[in-house]
Amino acid sequence: MGTENKEIKNRLSQLRKKMKENGIDYYMIPTADFHNSEYSADYFKTREYFCGFDGSNGTLVVSADEAGLWTDGRYFIQAANQLSGTGVTLFKMGEEGVPTIEKYLTDNMISGQTFGFDGRVVPAEEGELLEYLAKLKNVTIKIDKDLAEEIWEDRPTLPCHDAYVLSDELCGRSFKEKLADVRSKMKENNTSMHLLSKLDDIMWLTNLRGNDVECNPVALSYAMITDDMFILFIQSGEITDEVRAYCESNDIVLKDYAEYGEYLSELVLTGNILIDKRNTNYLTYKLVADKASEAGYEIKDCSNPTELMKAIKNETELKNIREVYLRDSAKLTEFIYWVKENVGKIPMTEYSAAMKLDGMRAELPGFIELSFPTISAYNANAAMAHYEATEDSAAEVKAQGMLLVDSGGTYMGGTTDVTRTIVVGEISDEIKKHYTATVSGMLELADAIFKDGCTGRNVDIYARRPLWDIGIDYNHGTGHGIGYMLNVHEGPHNIRWKNSDAANKTELKPGMIVSDEPGVYIEGSHGIRIENIVEVVNRSESEYGKFYGFDHLTYVPIDLEAIDKKYMKPETVKLLNKYHKTVYDRISPLIEDEEVKAWLKKATAEI
Amino acid sequence: MGTENKEIKNRLSQLRKKMKENGIDYYMIPTADFHNSEYSADYFKTREYFCGFDGSNGTLVVSADEAGLWTDGRYFIQAANQLSGTGVTLFKMGEEGVPTIEKYLTDNMISGQTFGFDGRVVPAEEGELLEYLAKLKNVTIKIDKDLAEEIWEDRPTLPCHDAYVLSDELCGRSFKEKLADVRSKMKENNTSMHLLSKLDDIMWLTNLRGNDVECNPVALSYAMITDDMFILFIQSGEITDEVRAYCESNDIVLKDYAEYGEYLSELVLTGNILIDKRNTNYLTYKLVADKASEAGYEIKDCSNPTELMKAIKNETELKNIREVYLRDSAKLTEFIYWVKENVGKIPMTEYSAAMKLDGMRAELPGFIELSFPTISAYNANAAMAHYEATEDSAAEVKAQGMLLVDSGGTYMGGTTDVTRTIVVGEISDEIKKHYTATVSGMLELADAIFKDGCTGRNVDIYARRPLWDIGIDYNHGTGHGIGYMLNVHEGPHNIRWKNSDAANKTELKPGMIVSDEPGVYIEGSHGIRIENIVEVVNRSESEYGKFYGFDHLTYVPIDLEAIDKKYMKPETVKLLNKYHKTVYDRISPLIEDEEVKAWLKKATAEI
C-alpha cells in the first residue's frame, strides 16, 4: 500500500488527454461487452486497463481531476488493494452514504458539460436513465467514442473461435421447437421482430456453443428473429463446415458479426419490435427505437422469452445435469481427500491446489472447460469473497486453518458450481461456530418447502438466519441460476433478500436450478462459503396449490472437523446426517480408490 | 341457496334505470368513503345496499345485463352465501382465471360506451388507471354522479359525533412537534402544500379523535397543510368547546367539512403539492392536479409522511400499549375460562359468547370501544375467515369442537387485536394437527431474527411454513399494523408473502407493531386462527448491521387441548413453553379469581 502505481497513472493521464481532445468532461467505463455478458473477453477489459482492478464487476468514472471505481461487496477488499497508489477512489456500492454513479454524476457535473461512454457497452435501460439525468442537468451525451481505441496499443483482438453444434438428443429440444415457442411469445406481445443480443440466450436457442469468452461457451453473436426468418450475426471465422451445414438445414441465415450495425441501419421495419432493454446495448436500441418512432411502431420492452425457457430445464437437461453433478461431486471429493492427505507434506499453494483440481476435472468424460476460474483461497484470503490466487501471489497452504475452494466445470451434459471450505489444520472455536452456522444455512434453505408463487426473496431468510442469529451477514446474494453447458451465472431467477430488481419477480419453478451459498467473511482472519446447487422440485399439490422444495444436485461431504453440534439445531443435525448418507450412497460407487472410499465413509458418518 | 332475492333484484333494476337515464353503461360501486378508510360509515354502504354482501371489502360492477362482485379470499364463502339469489356473479380476487375489475371492464366495454362511478369514493391512483384504460377503449368516464342518492330513500346521514382531544402526555408528542416533522418532509420533497385525507393520519397528527366510523375513533375530516397554516375541515357539529379551544391554542384553522370541495376550487397554488395518491380521492386529485398543471407546479405523489411516523410508535405509546395489551390479555384469558366452564351447561351461542366478551372488555379501565366487531365463529362457521354472527343467525355453541374468537378493544392507551381458537369439546386428530401447525407458525414467526432492511415479505414464510409442510395455506395476509388508540388495521408495513404493492417496500423497524396470525380454514368443517400482536425490537448490532426480532405484546394461553407434540418441532415446543411461562408470570397478577388463576397455571403448564 502507499506506493504509487505509475503505469495506471500514466494511462489515466492519456485518457484525460483524449477526453479533452474530444470535449468530454466525464467519461464512464463499465465492465461489459456489446452483449451485457457477465464476463467479458480481454478485448473489453478497458476498465481494468485504466485502473488495475480486475474483479468481475466494476465501473470507472474519470474526470479531469478525479477518478472513481464503483464495485460491489464481493470486491471491497480486493479493489481497495488493487486501486492502492492509482489515485482512483473506491466507491463501495450499497454501503450507507456512498452515492450511486448516477447520483455522483448528477452531483458533480454542471450545465454545459459533456458526458461520454461507449454506447455499445451500456445496456439500453441504463443508457436511457443516463440520458434522462443528462437532460435534467443540461449535459450533452456522447456515446460513439471508445476512447481506449486510441490509447491501448497492445489491445487484444476480438475473440474468434470455432463455434460448434450440440445434438438435439443432448439438448432435449431442437432449435426449431424452441424457435416456435419464441415466435409464439412474439405474437403474444404483438411484435413481428425480436432482437436478441444476450449470448447465452442465443446459444441456448440455437443449440450452438462457442468459445469466445473464458469459461463461457458462447460465440459473439446477435440474433434477429422475424415471423419467417432467423438471422445469426457471427464472425465468419467461427463458422465451421458443421455449423454452416446445421444452419442451412435449420434455415438460419448467417451474416457477419461486423455487419450488424449496418444491417440495422438499413432495416425497414414492418411492425412492433420485442427488445429486452436490460440486455440490448444502448447504441443498438437508439438506432431501432428512432426507426420505430419514425415508422409509427412500438418497442415492446420485456424479458426476452428465451431467458425463462432456458432457466426451466427440460427433462433431458435435468437428467444429464444430475449425472454430471454426481461425477463432478465425486471428483471434488477426491480432491478434498488429496488436500487433507498432502497438506503439510508436499509444497502446496492456493494456486497449485487449484491447478490440481482443474487437472482432475479435466480428466472427467465430456469435460469442456472450467465454468469459471477456480477460486482457491487460504485463511484470511478467503475473506475476499471472489479472490483469485495467481501463480506468483498465491499463499502457501500450511497444515493450519482452512482452504476455501469455489470451482466448477462445463461438461457435455451440464455446468457445475460448488464451494467447499476444507479444514487443513487447527481451527478456532469461533471458526467452528461460523462454519456450523454457514452449513446450517445451506442445509436449512435446501430443506425449504414453499408454495407456487414464491420467489427467491421469500426463502432467502433460511440461508441467512443461522448467521443473523449470531449477528453476522454476508455481502452477496444467496443464490444464482446456472446454465446448461453454458454460463455459470444465469437469470432470471435468483435467491436474494433485499434488492427488488426484475430478478426478484421471477418465481421459482420446478426445473430451475439455483445455487445455495451462504458464507462468513472475517477480514484479516478467515472466510467460509458452502455452496450446493439445488433443483426446484414438486413436493405436493392440494386444493391450496402446488408446493415445491429443493433437491440437492451437489453431493460433496461437509467438513465435519469444523462442525460443532452445540452450534447446530437438532433438526439441522438430522438434515446434515441425511445429506451425508446420500453423499456416501451416491458418490462412493464413483470412487475407485479404496482409501478415498474409506475416508469418505468416515467423512460422512452420522454425528 | 337458490331462493330469489327480490329486494336486491329490485334495487339493481332501479340502479339500471338510473344508469340508462344518465347514459352510463357500466357503473362501479367500490367500498369506500371519501378518505379511502377501511371501514365506511353506513352512509357509504352503497355496495351492500345494491348486492347484499356486507363483508369489509368488495366492489360491485353493474351493466345492463350483468352484475359482478369482486372480493378477496377472506370472504369467498360468505359472499357466495349472501349473493345467492341476487343474480350477482362472484369474482374471487386472486384466484387463477378470475379477471381483475380492470380486465373485466377492458374485455367487456366497447368503444363509445360510458363508465361511471362516484369520483369521491375512488382513490386517485385507481382513478387514473381507470381513466387510462377508458381512453384506450375510447370509453367516456363520468365521475360526478352518486346514483345511489336518487334511489336509496332511507339512506343514513353522514355520521357526526363529538370529536375529543388526547393529552400530549398520552400521545408522547404534541401536535406541534409532529407537524414540524411533517413540514420538514414537505420541504425535503420541495413542496409548499400538503393535502392529507386519510382519517387516522389526521387524527394521529392532530392528537384528536372522533367517533364517525364504527370501531374507528376517527372524525370525518380533511387537512390542508402549508408552511404557515394548518386547516382542518371538519363538521361543525363535531367541534366541542374543548376541541375549539385546543385548535385555537395550536393555530389549527377550523373550516366546515362540506366546504372542502369549494375551498379547493378557489385555491390559488403557490408551489408544488404533496399528495398521496393512494389515499386522496380521484375527484380531489383531479381538481388540484388540473390547477397545478395550469400554474406550472408539480404534484409530488408519495407516501404521506404522517403514515410512517404513526407506524413507528414512540416510547410513550409503546409503554402504554404494552400495559393495555396485558390487561386486555388477562380479560380474554378470563373469557376463555368462562367459555370452557360454561359450554354445554348454559345456553351459549356465537353471539352470546361475543356479547359476554364485549361486556367484559367494557369493564376495563379506559375502554373506549371495540376495535372491530367481535368475530365469534363455531366449528364450520370459523372456516369463513371474517364471519360475523348476528343475534338471529348465530350458531349454538355446544360442548364439541372449537370456538374461534377474534376480537379487540380501543382503550385510553392503545388498540388491541387478538385471536384464539378455544377447544370446547372433542376434536379430531386432524384438527389437532392443523391447530398445532397454526400455533407453530405463529410462534416461529414471532421468534424470527432479521436484519435491518427486511420487509414483512422476508419473514412471512416462518408463519406459513408449518402449514405449507402439510400442504395447507391460508388466503389472507399474515400480519397488519395496528393503530395507537386508532384503527385496528394500519399501514404502511405488513407481513405478506406475495403481492408487491407499496406496503411490501416498507421495512420493519423497531417500534412498529404488527399482527402474527396464521390460520387453517377447512370449508364445512373447521377454522383455526391464532393471532398475537408483536412489537419489532432491537436484538443486536454489529459491523454487519442491526438485527431485529419480535417481542410478544399478547399474552393469552394457547389451548393445549388442541396441541399434539408429535406435530410440533422440538425447538417450537420450547418456544411454546417459554411463551406460556411468560403468559402466567405476566397475566396471573392481573387475575383476581383464584379458580381462574389455578386454571391458568394448568393451561400454561410445560408440555
pLDDT tens digits for range B142-159: 998 899 999 999 999 999
Q: Is A454 on the interface with B (CB under 8 A)?
A: yes
Q: Which residues contact B563 (CB under 8 A, 6 or more apart)?
A: B432, B435, B436, B439, B576, B607
| pLDDT (0 to 100) of residue B1 | 46
- Among B451, B462, B473, the residue with its CB nearest the CB of A544 is B473
CATH superfamily of B312-599: Creatinase/methionine aminopeptidase superfamily (3.90.230.10)
Strand partners, A71: A92
DSSP A14-32: HHHHHHHHTT-SEEEE-S-
Average pLDDT on A93-120 reads 93
Q: Is B570 on the interface with A (CB under 8 A)?
A: yes
Domain boundaries, chain A: 6-150, 164-308, 312-598
Q: What is the pLDDT of residues A473-486, one digit of tens each?
A: 998 999 999 999 99
Tell if the CB–CB gap between A544 and B464 is shorter than 8 Å. Answer: no
Question: Residue B220 and residue B206: Cα distance in Å, rounded?
Answer: 13
Domain A312-598 belongs to what topology? Creatine Amidinohydrolase (3.90.230)
Q: Across the beta sheet with B409-411, what order do the strands follow?
A: B367-370, B409-411, B414-415
Q: Is B452 on the interface with A (CB under 8 A)?
A: no
Q: Is A342 on the interface with B (CB under 8 A)?
A: no
| pLDDT (0 to 100) of residue A315 | 97
Residue B213 CA neighbour count, 13 Å, CB half: 29
pTM for this structure? 0.87
Q: How confident is the model at residue A73 (pLDDT cuts 50, 70, 90)?
A: confident
Domain B164-303 belongs to what topology? Creatine Amidinohydrolase; Chain A, domain 1 (3.40.350)
Average pLDDT on B170-186 reads 97
Q: Is A540 on the interface with B (CB under 8 A)?
A: yes
Closest residue of chain A to B445, computed from CA coordinates: A461
- % of chain B surpassing 70 pLDDT: 98
Q: Is A542 on the interface with B (CB under 8 A)?
A: yes
Average pLDDT on B321-348 reads 98
Q: How confident is the model at residue A303 (pLDDT cuts 50, 70, 90)?
A: confident
| pLDDT (0 to 100) of residue B592 | 95
B-chain CB neighbours of A472 within 8 Å are 542, 544
Question: Residue B265 and residue B291: Cα distance in Å, rounded?
Answer: 9
B253-266 b/e (C-beta count within 10 Å ≥ 16 → b): ebbebeebbeebee
| pLDDT (0 to 100) of residue A1 | 46
- Among A450, A497, A544, the residue with its CB nearest the CB of B458 is A497
Burial class (CB in 10 A: 0-12, 13-18, 19+), A400: middle
Tell if the CB–CB gap between A457 and B460 is shorter than 8 Å. Answer: no
In order of B59, B105, B272, the CA distances from B64 in angstroms are 17, 13, 43
Q: Is the pLDDT of residue B238 over 80?
A: yes
DSSP B30-52: -S--TT--SS--GGGTHHHHHH-
Tell if the CB–CB gap between B471 and A500 is shorter than 8 Å. Answer: no
Secondary structure in 3-state letters for B119-161: CCCCEHHHHHHHHHHHHHCCCEEECECCHHHHCCCCCCCCCCC
**Residue of A465, A539, A544 best to disrupt the B interface, most CBs of B under 10 A:** A544
Q: Is the pLDDT of residue A336 over 60?
A: yes
Q: How confident is the model at residue A145 (pLDDT cuts 50, 70, 90)?
A: confident
Secondary structure in 3-state letters for B439-500: HHHHHHHHCCEEECCCEHHHHHHHHHHHHHCCCCCCCCCCEEECCCCCCCCEEEEEECCCCC
**Nearest CA distance, A547 vs chain B (angstrom):** 7
Cell 411502431 -> residue: A297
ipTM value, please give it.
0.83
In a 3-state reduction of DSSP, which class is residue A419? strand
For B6-150, CATH gives 3.40.350.10
**Nearest CA distance, B463 vs chain A (angstrom):** 12
In a 3-state reduction of DSSP, which class is residue A303? coil
| Other residues' Cβ atoms within 10 Å of the Cβ of residue A138 | 11
Report angle CA A540, A544, A550 to the nearest 5 degrees. Answer: 35
Residue B213 · residue B37 · CB < 8 Å: yes
Tell if the CB–CB gap between B471 and A547 is shorter than 8 Å. Answer: yes
Does A164-308 match A6-150 at the fold level?
A: yes
Q: Is A319 on the interface with B (CB under 8 A)?
A: no
| pLDDT (0 to 100) of residue B384 | 82
Q: Is the pLDDT of residue B280 over 90?
A: yes
Q: What is the pLDDT of residues A475-516, one digit of tens each?
A: 899 999 999 999 999 989 999 998 655 546 899 999 999 999
**Nearest CA distance, A368 vs chain B (angstrom):** 39
Q: How confident is the model at residue B500 (pLDDT cuts 50, 70, 90)?
A: low
- % of chain A surpassing 70 pLDDT: 98
In order of A416, A543, B405, B473, the CA distances from B467 in angstroms are 34, 13, 21, 6
Residue B87 · residue B16 · CB < 8 Å: no
Residue A223 · residue A276 · CB < 8 Å: no
Q: Is A545 on the interface with B (CB under 8 A)?
A: yes
Q: Is A471 on the interface with B (CB under 8 A)?
A: yes
**Grid cell at residue A445:** 434453505
Q: Is A547 on the interface with B (CB under 8 A)?
A: yes
- Among A468, A471, A569, the residue with its CB nearest the CB of B450 is A468
Tell if the CB–CB gap between B458 and A461 is shorter than 8 Å. Answer: yes
- Among B464, B500, B569, the residue with its CB nearest the CB of A571 is B569
Helices and strands (H, E) in chain A, number of each type: 18, 28
In a 3-state reduction of DSSP, which class is residue B345? coil
Average pLDDT on A240-261 reads 96
- % of chain A surpassing 90 pLDDT: 88
**Nearest CA distance, A498 vs chain B (angstrom):** 7
Q: Is the pLDDT of residue B213 over 90?
A: no
**Residue of A461, A507, A522, A543 best to disrupt the B interface, most CBs of B under 10 A:** A461
Q: Is A571 on the interface with B (CB under 8 A)?
A: yes
Tell if the CB–CB gap between B449 and A468 is shorter than 8 Å. Answer: yes
Residue A252 · residue A206 · CB < 8 Å: yes
Q: Which residues contact B439 (CB under 8 A, 6 or more apart)?
A: B530, B558, B563, B568, B576
- Among A461, A540, A545, the residue with its CB nearest the CB of B461 is A461
Residue B166 · residue B485 · CB < 8 Å: yes
B-chain CB neighbours of A468 within 8 Å are 449-451, 547
Tell if the CB–CB gap between A458 and B461 is shorter than 8 Å. Answer: yes
What is the total residue count of chain B? 607
Tell if the CB–CB gap between B471 and A570 is shorter than 8 Å. Answer: no
Q: Is A433 on the interface with B (CB under 8 A)?
A: no
Average pLDDT on B392-419 reads 96
A-B CB pairs within 8 A amount to 76
**Nearest CA distance, B438 vs chain A (angstrom):** 15
Tell if the CB–CB gap between A457 and B458 is shorter than 8 Å. Answer: yes
The helix (H) or strand (E) run that includes residue A300 is strand A299-301
Q: Which residues contact B9 (CB under 8 A, 6 or more apart)?
A: B86, B87
**Grid cell at residue B506:** 416498507
CATH superfamily of A164-308: Creatinase/prolidase N-terminal domain (3.40.350.10)
**Nearest CA distance, A497 vs chain B (angstrom):** 7
Residue B515 · residue B482 · CB < 8 Å: yes
Q: Is B242 on the interface with A (CB under 8 A)?
A: no
Closest residue of chain B to A495, computed from CA coordinates: B458
- Among B472, B544, B570, the residue with its CB nearest the CB of A570 is B570
A-chain CB neighbours of B454 within 8 Å are 461, 497-498
**Nearest CA distance, B478 vs chain A (angstrom):** 13
Q: Is the pLDDT of residue B576 over 60?
A: yes
Q: What is the pLDDT of residues A314-335, one digit of tens each?
A: 999 999 999 999 999 999 999 9
**Residue of A449, A540, A550 best to disrupt the B interface, most CBs of B under 10 A:** A449
Q: What is the mean pLDDT of chain B?
A: 94
Q: Is the pLDDT of residue B386 over 50?
A: yes
In a 3-state reduction of DSSP, which class is residue A100? coil
- Among B451, B469, B545, the residue with its CB nearest the CB of A449 is B469
Tell if the CB–CB gap between B451 and A464 is shorter than 8 Å. Answer: yes
